[in-house]
Amino acid sequence: MLKTTAEIQRLIELVETTLDTDHDGDVTDSELLDGYALIADELEAFDIM
């Protein structure tokens, strides 16, 4: 479980880096929507959603 602000910030940075599929330093709406779809699929696979 995440306990500190630093851990939460690191998780956010990791997600943003992962979502930036064209590696231009900017997460576009399209990349964000694709990323949310992938995350939702993963959560569904684990019966979390």
Domain ranges of the chain: 5-45
Mean pLDDT of 7-35: 82
pTM, rounded to two decimals: 0.48
CA–chain centroid gap for 1, Å, is: 17
Mean pLDDT of 27-39: 84
Going by the DSSP 8-state scheme, the letter that residue 7 receives in this structure is: H
Residues 6+ apart with CB under 8 A from 40: 49
d(CA 44, CA 12): 21
CA dihedral 40, 30, 14, 23 (to 10 degrees): 150
Mean pLDDT of 15-35: 84
pLDDT of residue 49: 47
Mean pLDDT of the chain: 78
Place of tokens 């995350």: 39
